[in-house]
Amino acid sequence: MKSTEDRILLAHGSGGRLSHELVQKSLVPSWSNPVLNRLDDAAVFKLSGRLAFTTDSYVVSPIFFPGGDIGKLSICGTVNDLAMCGAQPLYFSVALIIEEGFRLAELERIVTSIKEATEEAGVEIVTGDTKVVPRGSADKLFINTAGVGLIPEGVDISGSNARPGDKILLSGTIGEHGLAVMSQRESLEFKIPIQSDCAPLNKLVVDMLAASPEIHCLRDPTRGGLATTLNELATQSKVGMRIDEENIPLQEAVRATCELLGFDPLYVANEGKLVAILPPTDAERVLNQMRQNCYGREGAIIGEVVEQHPGRVVMRTRLGTSRLIDMLSGDLLPRIC
Amino acid sequence: MKFIDEYCNVELSQRLVERIRHKSAREVRLMEFCGGHTHAILRYGIRQLLPPTVEMLSGPGCPVCVTANADLDKAIALSGLPGVILASFGDMLRIPGSYSSLQKAKAEGADIRIVYSAMDALRLARENPHRSIIFLGIGFEATAPTIAASILEAEGERIDNYYVFSIHKLCPPVIRALLQSGEVKLDGIVCPGHVSAIIGSQPYEFIAKEYGIACAVAGFEPLDILLSIDMLLAQIESGKPEVEIAYRRGVRPEGNLRAQEIMGQVFETCPATWRGIGEVPQSGLRLRQEYQRFDTEKAFYVDPGPPREARGCLCGDILRGVKWPSDCRLFGQVCTPEHPVGPCMVSSEGSCAAYYQYQSHEAALSK
C-alpha cells in the first residue's frame, strides 16, 4: 500500500519507467488474466458468433459516491449496454485519463473496485491505456471502457421491437443513483440514506431470457431516467405507452427527497435498473424469474404498449387522472420555493 | 409515505370532487397564484376532475419568471466580475436575459455555483476567503427569511466576503396591483402555500374585504388544492368572501412570527419591478442600512446595458393572467424548454413549462 501522500505525476504518463511501473504494479496484477498479461500492443482472442460492441466514457463527479465509485460505474455501465442488446459481455478495454496530482491510494481503490465489478459480471479486461494530463486539464479521473459480447442464437432485442399489447416491466425502484451522486456534489451536500443502485445486470438478463427468449426490448434507464427511456422506446418503435404511477417501485427516501427538492423521480438517473418490453403471455413468467435475481427483487409490471398516440408516454396518476410523460429537457435543477 | 400519501388519497379526493361538482352552480374563474400550484394541478391532472364551470387561471407566483430582465442582466454582469463566485438557485441558470443567461455566462468562464439555500452560499464564503461570494437572493416571502438568517450569521462570524443581490418580491402587494388594474375578473384566489407559512393568512384579508374576492390558502398536494377549490366555491355560492386556510398543517393566520422578525430585522420594503407588471410599490425587499455592507448594490458596480424584451414573448401577459400559454405564437414552436424564449418556459414553476410538459399534446392523448 502506498502512503496517502503518494500522487500521480506527469511522468506516470510519459511512457517511460514510471508508466511501466504504474501499469505493472498497480493495474495488471489486479486485473490479471492470460490475454491481458501478455502486454502486447493489442489484445488477441477468438470469438465467433453475433457480436455486440459498445463504448462509454465516465466522468462522474464526485468519483466516490454512496454505493459505488467511478470504477464500478465504468464496468457496470458498459456491461449493461451490452446486456441491453441481449449480449453476454466478455472482453473489455479500460482507458484511464488521470489528472496530475491524483492520489495513488485513491487510484488503487478504484482499480480494486473495477476488479470486483469485472468479477461479478464475469468479464475480463484484456487491454487498456493510461494517460496523465496536467492539473486542471481533467477533473481527477476520467475512465473510458469498451466491451464486446456475444449474442446468443434466437435473441433479437432492439428498441424498435415494441408491439401494441406488450407489457412493460421495470426491474426495481428508481432514482437512487442520481440522488446518491447529487447528494455529494459541492454546495449541494445533504444527508440522505440513499445509495447508488450501480450494478451489472447481465446475469439478470440471462435469467430473464431463460424465462422467455421473446423479450422485444431491453434498456437501462440511466441519464434522463425512466421517463426518457420510455419515450426513446416509444419513438423508436412508433408505438404509444401507458404506465401506472401506482405500480412504479420507489423507495420512500427517494420519494421524500424528490418531493423536497422538486424533482420528479421519473427523470432521475439509475445505474442498476432495466426496462423490458415483452409479449403479455410471457410477462408474469419473466417477472417471477426477475424477482429471483437480487437485482430484480422489486421488479414490477408498470404498464403496456398501445397503438394510440405513437411516440408518447401517458401515465395514469394516483388520482386516476392521466398525464403526459415527456422526455427530460435540460438539466435536472432544484427548484427554489 | 407519511404526510404525502394522505394528501394524495384517491377516495378522499373523489369525495371532494363530488362535493365540488355538487356545489358548482355557475361559471367561476379562480386564479392559482403560485406556479407550484399550477404545476401540481397539471401534474396530477386536477383540471380533468373539475366541472367545466370552474376555470383555473395561473398567476404571477413564479419568482424566477417575474424577475425583470434588468435584474437578470445585472446578475449575469456580476458573475463576470473578477474574483466573484455567484451562487444561485438552479432555476435561474437557464432563464434568458436580454443578451445572455447565467448558463451561458458559466460556459464562458464565470464561476457560478448552484446552491439549495443561502446557507450553502455562506459556506462557500467561508471556504473561499479570497473570493467574493454573491448570492442571488430571489424568491418570495418563503425564501427571504433564510437569506436574512444567512446575513445575520455572516455578521456574527464577521464574514466579509459574502454579499446578497436582493431581488426578492412580496406577494400581497402584487395581488393588490393585479386587482387594482381590473384587467382580470376573478371570483376567487388560491393563495400561496409556502409564502403563507411565513406571512400567515391575514395579509390577504384586503382581497376579500376590498375586492369581494374569495380566498383560500392551499398546500401543494392534490387534496390541499381540491379542498381550497371547495372552500372557494362555498364562499362564492354563499356570497361571503373571506380568507380560509386549506393548509392548516402548514399555515397559521398570524404566520411564522420568528421568521417575520428576522426578515424585518434585515430587510425593508422597496418598490420592485415585475416582469409584465412593471413597478409595484412596497413589493420588493432591500437590505436595511445596518446591513448594507452585504449589499451588492453598494459593493459592486456593473452596467449590463439597457434591458431588452424578446419579441413576441407573452410571458408578461401570461403572468398577469390575461393570456394563456397557448395564446403565445412562440409556445411549443420557437419557445420550448430546450430553447426557451421567455422565463415561463424554463422555470419549474413557470406556466408555459407546466402546460408544455403536461398538456401540450392533450389533443393527441384524447384520441
Any chain A CB within 8 A of the CB of B194? yes
Instruction: Give the pLDDT of residue B9.
Output: 80
| CATH fourth-level superfamily of B1-312 | HypD, alpha/beta domain 2 (3.40.50.11740)
- The partner residue sitting opposite A336, judged by closest CB among B10, B138, B195, is B138
- The partner residue sitting opposite B90, judged by closest CB among A256, A319, A333, is A333
Inter-chain residue contact B360 with A324, CB threshold 8 Å: yes
Inter-chain residue contact A262 with B63, CB threshold 8 Å: no
Instruction: Give the pLDDT of residue A191.
Output: 77
pLDDT in tens, A185-242: 765 667 788 999 999 999 999 999 999 999 999 999 999 999 999 999 999 999 999 9
Of residues A1 and B101, more confidence is placed in B101
pLDDT exceeds 80 at position B3: no
Tell me the residue ranges of DSSP E strands in chain B: 28-34, 54-61, 84-88, 111-114, 132-137, 162-166, 188-191, 214-217, 243-245, 267-274, 278-287
Question: Is residue A337 one of the residues assigned to a domain?
Answer: no
Mutation pick from A306, A319, A325, A331 vs chain B, by most beta carbons of B within 10 Å, is A319
- The partner residue sitting opposite B365, judged by closest CB among A189, A314, A335, is A314
Instruction: Give the pLDDT of residue A337.
Output: 39
Instruction: Render B289-340 in DSSP notation, one character per residue.
Output: GGGGGGBHHHH-----------TT--HHHHHTTSS-GGG-TTBTTTB-SSS-
Inter-chain residue contact A319 with B46, CB threshold 8 Å: yes
Are A139 and A182 contained in the same domain?
no
Inter-chain residue contact A309 with B365, CB threshold 8 Å: yes
CATH number at residue A173: 3.90.650.10
- The partner residue sitting opposite B4, judged by closest CB among A189, A190, A259, is A259
Are A68 and A216 contained in the same domain?
no
Inter-chain residue contact B44 with A321, CB threshold 8 Å: yes
Any chain B CB within 8 A of the CB of A320? yes
pLDDT exceeds 70 at position B367: no
Inter-chain residue contact B336 with A329, CB threshold 8 Å: yes
Chain A, chain B: beta-carbon pairs less than 8 Å apart: 115
Q: Which of A282-286, B215-219, B307-311 bottoms out in mean pLDDT, i.e. has the lowest? A: B307-311
**Alpha-carbon gap, residue A59 to A316, rounded angstroms:** 36
- Locate the chain B residue with the closest alpha carbon to A260: B116
Q: Mean pLDDT over residues A271-297, rounded?
A: 97
pLDDT exceeds 90 at position B347: no
Length of chain A (residues): 337
Number of domains observed in the structure of chain A: 2
Are A95 and A62 contained in the same domain?
yes
Question: What percent of chain B shows pLDDT beyond 70?
Answer: 96
User: What are the chain A neighbours of B138 within 8 Å (beta carbons)?
Assistant: 336
User: What are the chain B neighbours of A336 within 8 Å (beta carbons)?
Assistant: 63-64, 89-92, 138-139, 143
Are A139 and A198 contained in the same domain?
no
Residues within 8 A of A (CB atoms), B 206-225 only: 222
Inter-chain residue contact B358 with A324, CB threshold 8 Å: yes
Q: In the numeric block, which cell numbers belong to residue B72? A: 437578470
Instruction: Give the pLDDT of residue B5.
Output: 67
Q: How confident is the model at residue B366 (pLDDT cuts 50, 70, 90)?
A: very low
pLDDT in tens, A17-76: 888 888 988 899 999 999 999 999 999 999 999 999 999 999 998 999 999 999 999 999
Beta-ladder partners of A7? A103
How far away is chain A from the Cα of B164, in angstroms, using its nearest Cα? Answer: 16
Over its C-alpha atoms, chain B yields an Rg (Å, rounded) of 21
Instruction: Give the pLDDT of residue A3.
Output: 55
How far away is chain A from the Cα of B298, in angstroms, using its nearest Cα? Answer: 25
Q: Which residue has the cell 424498435?
A: A160
Q: How confident is the model at residue B8 (pLDDT cuts 50, 70, 90)?
A: low
Question: What percent of chain B shows pLDDT beyond 90?
Answer: 83
Any chain B CB within 8 A of the CB of A3? no
- Domains of chain B: which residue ranges? 1-312, 315-365
Are A28 and A105 contained in the same domain?
yes
Residues within 8 A of A (CB atoms), B 99-158 only: 113-116, 120-121, 123-124, 138-140, 142-143
Residues within 8 A of B (CB atoms), A 63-122 only: none
- The partner residue sitting opposite A336, judged by closest CB among B44, B143, B222, is B143
Are A103 and A28 contained in the same domain?
yes
Q: How do strand A64-65 and strand A322-325 relate by DSSP bridges?
A: unpaired
Any chain A CB within 8 A of the CB of B360? yes
Of A151, A182, A216, the residue at which a domain comes to its end is: A151
Q: Which residue has the cell 466491451?
A: A147
**Alpha-carbon gap, residue B115 to B124, rounded angstroms:** 10
- Locate the chain B residue with the closest alpha carbon to A335: B91
Are A145 and A224 contained in the same domain?
no
Question: Is residue A156 one of the residues assigned to a domain?
Answer: no
Q: Are B42 and B356 in contact (CB under 8 A)?
A: no
Any chain A CB within 8 A of the CB of B63? yes
Are A145 and A184 contained in the same domain?
no
Are A135 and A175 contained in the same domain?
no
Inter-chain residue contact A187 with B120, CB threshold 8 Å: yes
pLDDT exceeds 50 at position B363: no
Are A133 and A215 contained in the same domain?
no
DSSP B286: E
pLDDT exceeds 60 at position B233: yes
Q: Which domain holds residue A204?
A: 167-325
Of residues A184 and A285, more confidence is placed in A285
Of A87, A121, A151, the residue at which a domain comes to its end is: A151
Instruction: Give the pLDDT of residue B90.
Output: 86
- The partner residue sitting opposite B8, judged by closest CB among A308, A312, A319, is A319
CATH number at residue A109: 3.30.1330.10
Q: Mean pLDDT over residues B20-37, rounded?
A: 93
Q: Are B93 and B138 in contact (CB under 8 A)?
A: no
User: What are the chain B neighbours of A190 within 8 Å (beta carbons)?
Assistant: 116
**Alpha-carbon gap, residue A228 to B58, rounded angstroms:** 28
Question: Is residue A106 one of the residues assigned to a domain?
Answer: yes
Any chain B CB within 8 A of the CB of A188? yes
Inter-chain residue contact A324 with B124, CB threshold 8 Å: no
How far away is chain A from the Cα of B239, in angstroms, using its nearest Cα? Answer: 31
pLDDT exceeds 90 at position A16: no
Inter-chain residue contact A337 with B336, CB threshold 8 Å: no
Q: Mean pLDDT over residues B171-178, rounded?
A: 97
pLDDT exceeds 80 at position B2: no
**Alpha-carbon gap, residue B212 to B207, rounded angstroms:** 7
> What contacts A166, CB < 8 A, 6 or more positions away?
A216, A277, A278, A279, A280, A304, A305
Are A251 and A140 contained in the same domain?
no
Instruction: Give the pLDDT of residue B364.
Output: 44
Instruction: Render A79-112 in DSSP notation, one character per residue.
Output: HHHHHTTT-EEEEEEEEEEEETT-BHHHHHHHHH
User: What are the chain A neighbours of B143 within 8 Å (beta carbons)?
Assistant: 336-337
How far away is chain A from the Cα of B185, in angstroms, using its nearest Cα? Answer: 27
The neighbour count for residue A294, using CB atoms within 10 Å, is: 10
Mean pLDDT score of chain B:
93
Inter-chain residue contact B367 with A308, CB threshold 8 Å: yes
DSSP A327: P
Instruction: Give the pLDDT of residue A45.
Output: 94
Are A130 and A171 contained in the same domain?
no
